C-alpha cells in the first residue's frame, strides 16, 4: 500500500487547511469547550486532530504509534507540522502513550487506527457523557476494535456517521479508488470485463463509477454466482467475516470460471495461498491485516478523508451536546450488543 505524505502536491498544507475549513463550515462542526482524543498520523489522516482544533476544541491529544511504514517520531512530526500550518500547534498535543491509570477527561474519543482497539481499560476511565466517534457508518463497526459491552455498561454511545449525507458524500470516491487499484494491477478498466463481488452498500457506487469509465461490470454477491467467461478482473469487496471471504473452495471456482483474471482485493480476507496454488494472481501483493481494507480512500487524495473525519466528529459532537438523537440525518448510533 502506497502512503502519501505531506510532501505530495495534493497534500500541500495550505490546500489541506482550506479543505478542512470548508468541511467544518459545511457541517457546522463546533467543538468549543470540548476535548478530543484521536490519533496522530501521516498523509491525509494527519488532518483529524487538526480538524478538531480548527473547530474550536479546547484540547486535542493525538497518539502517535509506530506503524508498518512509519516511526512514531515521523508520525508525530507530520502531525505537528500540519497543526503549525493551521495555527493550532498550541491546541494539539502529540504523545506516544496515554497515562496508564489516570482518569481521562476526553469528551470525544475517535475509533482511529493508532488508538485501536478501544479496550475496557480505556473506556472505564472516560467521564460520564463521553462519546466514541466511529468515523464510519454504524454497520461497519468491528467488535475487535471497540469493547462494546464496556461502552454499554458505561452508557457511552458509539456514534456512526451517514457517509452518504450530502455534506460528506464519500461513496462516489469508491470508484476512483477501485480504479486506482485496478490500474496498479495492470487492468485498464476501459473496456475491461470486471466482476464486482460485493455483499455491502459499496457495490452500487463502485459499479456505477467503473461503468462510467467504460468498463463492462457485473455485480455479484458471492463467488458461487460468478459465471464462467473471459474476465479481466475480479474485484473483491466483502464485509469481513469470521473466516476468509475467499477460501480454498472459492479459489477453485475463480480459477475454473475466470482463468487468467486478476483478483483485486479491496475488502474481505482471502486465502492467498489457495489462490496461488490455482495460479490466480492477486493484487495488491502484500495482504492487509485481517479485517482491514487493502487500499484506503486516502490513496486517491485527502478530500474524502477530510469529509469523513469532519463528519465523524460532527456526528459525535451532536450526540455529546444533545444526547440520543433520532432524527438527525448525519448521526447513526451503533446498537448495544445483545445481553449475555
Q: Is the pLDDT of residue 67 over 80?
A: no
Cβ–Cβ under 8 Å, residues 133 and 35: no
CA–CA gap between residue 160 and residue 331 (Å, rounded): 6
What distance lies between CA 305 and its chain's CA centroid? 8
Name 331's bridge partners: 161
CA–CA gap between residue 19 and residue 38 (Å, rounded): 19
Q: Is the pLDDT of residue 5 over 50?
A: yes
Query: Once rounded to an integer, what is the mean pLDDT over residues 7-35?
Result: 95
Pick the residue with more confidence: 224 or 5? 224
pLDDT tens for 120-145 read 999 999 999 999 999 999 988 988 89
Residue 133 burial by CB count (10 A; 0-12/13-18/19+): exposed, middle or buried?
buried
3-class DSSP state of 264: strand
Cβ–Cβ under 8 Å, residues 194 and 232: yes
> First CA to last CA across the chain, in angstroms?
39
pLDDT tens for 253-274 read 999 999 999 999 999 999 999 9
Q: Is the pLDDT of residue 93 over 70?
A: yes
Residue 278 burial by CB count (10 A; 0-12/13-18/19+): exposed, middle or buried?
middle
pTM for the full model? 0.90
Cβ–Cβ under 8 Å, residues 20 and 310: yes
pLDDT tens for 292-302 read 899 999 999 99
Instruction: Say what the pLDDT of residue 291 is.
Output: 87
Q: Is the pLDDT of residue 45 over 90?
A: yes
3-class DSSP state of 85: helix
Instruction: Say what the pLDDT of residue 256 is.
Output: 98
Pick the residue with more confidence: 203 or 100? 203
Instruction: Say what the pLDDT of residue 112 is.
Output: 93
Instruction: Say what the pLDDT of residue 6 is.
Output: 62
337 pLDDT tier (thresholds 50, 70, 90): confident
What distance lies between CA 210 and its chain's CA centroid? 21
2 pLDDT tier (thresholds 50, 70, 90): very low
Contacts (Cβ under 8 Å, ≥6 apart) of 252:
274, 278
CA–CA gap between residue 55 and residue 310 (Å, rounded): 9
Pick the residue with more confidence: 178 or 291? 178
Instruction: Say what the pLDDT of residue 30 is.
Output: 98
Amino acid at each position: 500500500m502506497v502512503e502519501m505524505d505531506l510532501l505530495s502536491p495534493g497534500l500541500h498544507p495550505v490546500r489541506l487547511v482550506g479543505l478542512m475549513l470548508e468541511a467544518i463550515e459545511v457541517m457546522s462542526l463546533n467543538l468549543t469547550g470540548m476535548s478530543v482524543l484521536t490519533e496522530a498520523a501521516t498523509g491525509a489522516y494527519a488532518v483529524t486532530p487538526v480538524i478538531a482544533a480548527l473547530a474550536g476544541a479546547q484540547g486535542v491529544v493525538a497518539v502517535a504509534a509506530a506503524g508498518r511504514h512509519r516511526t512514531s517520531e515521523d508520525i508525530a512530526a507530520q502531525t505537528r507540522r500540519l497543526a503549525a500550518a493551521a495555527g493550532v500547534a498550541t491546541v494539539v498535543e502529540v504523545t506516544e502513550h496515554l497515562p496508564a491509570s489516570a482518569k481521562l477527561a476526553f469528551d470525544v474519543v475517535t475509533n482511529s487506527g493508532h488508538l485501536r482497539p478501544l479496550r475496557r481499560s480505556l473506556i472505564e476511565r472516560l467521564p460520564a457523557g463521553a462519546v466514541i466517534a466511529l468515523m464510519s457508518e454504524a454497520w461497519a463497526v468491528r467488535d475487535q476494535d471497540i469493547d462494546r459491552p464496556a461502552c454499554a455498561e458505561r452508557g457511552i454511545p458509539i456514534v456512526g456517521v451517514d457517509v452518504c449525507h450530502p455534506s460528506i458524500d464519500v461513496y462516489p470516491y469508491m470508484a476512483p479508488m477501485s480504479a486506482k487499484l485496478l490500474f496498479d494491477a495492470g487492468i485498464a478498466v476501459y473496456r475491461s470485463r470486471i466482476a464486482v463481488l460485493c455483499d455491502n452498500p459499496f457495490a452500487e457506487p463502485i459499479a456505477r463509477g467503473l461503468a462510467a469509465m467504460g468498463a463492462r461490470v457485473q455485480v455479484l454477491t458471492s463467488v458461487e454466482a460468478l459465471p464462467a467467461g473471459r474476465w479481466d478482473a475480479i474485484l473483491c469487496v466483502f464485509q469481513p467475516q469470521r473466516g476468509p471471504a475467499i477460501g480454498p473452495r472459492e479459489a477453485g471456482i475463480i480459477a475454473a470460471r475466470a482463468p487468467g483474471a486478476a483478483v483485486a482485493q479491496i475488502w474481505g480476507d482471502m486465502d492467498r495461498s489457495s489462490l496461488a496454488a490455482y495460479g490466480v494472481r492477486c493484487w495488491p501483493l502484500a495482504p492487509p491485516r485481517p479485517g482491514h481494507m487493502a487500499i484506503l480512500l486516502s490513496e486517491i487524495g485527502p478530500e474524502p478523508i477530510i469529509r469523513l473525519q469532519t463528519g465523524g466528529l460532527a456526528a459525535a459532537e451532536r450526540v455529546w451536546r444533545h444526547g440520543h438523537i433520532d432524527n438527525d440525518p448525519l448521526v447513526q448510533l451503533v446498537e448495544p450488543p445483545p445481553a449475555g
